[in-house]
Amino acid sequence: GAGVSQTPSNKVTEKGKYVELRCDPISGHTALYWYRQSLGQGPEFLIYFQGTGAADDSGLPNDRFFAVRPEGSVSTLKIQRTERGDSAVYLCASSLRLAVNEQFFGPGTRLTVL
Amino acid sequence: QKEVEQNSGPLSVPEGAIASLNCTYSDRGSQSFFWYRQYSGKSPELIMSIYSNGDQEDGRFTAQLNKASQYVSLLIRDSQPSDSATYLCAVNIREYGNKLVFGAGTILRVKS
């Protein structure tokens, strides 16, 4: 079956602009995770959802970052007033359910803030 | 101290040799351990999961867990040039819920 998909694959924006990054998890996976990865580092947790609700948003760096998953499937990560330091690869992962924590990653969105 | 530590490498091994990748973690509450492979410019790919002390084998890959020493390793037998990648160790710490905490990764280079 299809894996996790993310769009766009690349996003270039200017400082101060608003961006939305989309994630479509593996069909049937109830848990969805967002991570951010900078060059030479491992992925860093941002937020995860079980169903429609954010179960843990402790990794969001500040209130410019927000994520939703209104119907329990597709999720959108929203970044307001982007800053150059937001440049990174944003990774989405899904797992079958919280109790089975094998997380499968999508291809990522490379965000560049000029 | 970082929660999950890995030697950044690069670790260079000849083709056909055993590559040994190591990872230590700081939290004794850690309960699930994962190895991901990441090719340059690609996203992490799950290759091994281990949940209890001992060895877990899958093909050429063996994950080893020692909770007393807070140590998890990945052995790759008969290393191939296609194994050249960054290997990320990830740990699920019970008190942190379901998020994974990643090490920075070890670069593996298999020379033919």
Does the CB of B90 have a partner CB in chain A at under 8 Å? yes
CA-nearest of A52, A86, A82, A90 to A69 is A52
B92-107 confidence digits (pLDDT tens): 987 777 889 999 999 9
B24-65 confidence digits (pLDDT tens): 999 888 889 999 999 999 999 999 999 999 999 999 999 999
pLDDT at A97 over 80: no
Q: Which site among A101, A102, A110 would you substitute to test the B interface, given the most B Cβ atoms closer than 10 Å to its Cβ?
A: A101
Contact in structure between A91 and A36 (CB atoms under 8 Å): yes
A30-84 confidence digits (pLDDT tens): 999 999 999 999 999 999 999 899 989 999 999 999 999 999 999 999 999 999 9
Beta strands, E only, A39-100 = 44-50, 53-56, 65-68, 75-79, 88-95
Residue A105: per-residue pLDDT: 98
Residue A1: per-residue pLDDT: 59
Residue A100: per-residue pLDDT: 65
Tell me if B98 and A106 make a contact (CB, 8 A cut-off): no
CB proximity list for B82: less than 8 A, separation 6 or greater = B110
**What is the side-by-side order of every strand in the sheet holding A19-24?**
A5-7, A19-24, A75-79, A65-68
Which of A 49-68 lie inside 8 A of B, CB atoms? 55-56, 58-59
Residue A99: per-residue pLDDT: 66
Contact in structure between A82 and A13 (CB atoms under 8 Å): yes
pLDDT at B66 over 90: yes
Residue B98: per-residue pLDDT: 84
Query: Percent of chain A beyond pLDDT 90?
Result: 88
Confidence of residue A96 (pLDDT cuts 50, 70, 90): confident
Strand partners of residue A110: A10, A89
What are the tokens at B12? 């260079």
CA-nearest of B40, B35, B53 to B89 is B35
DSSP label at residue A97: B
Contact in structure between A96 and A53 (CB atoms under 8 Å): no
Where does residue B82 rank: exposed (0-12), middle (13-18), buried (19+ CB within 10 A)? exposed
Query: Percent of chain A beyond pLDDT 70?
Result: 96
Using a CB-CB cut-off of 8 Å, the residues of chain B touching A43 are 44, 88, 100, 102
Could you write out the three-class secondary structure of B54-112? EEEEECCEEEEEECCCCEEEEEECCCCHHHCEEEEEEEEEHHHCCCEEECCCEEEEEEC
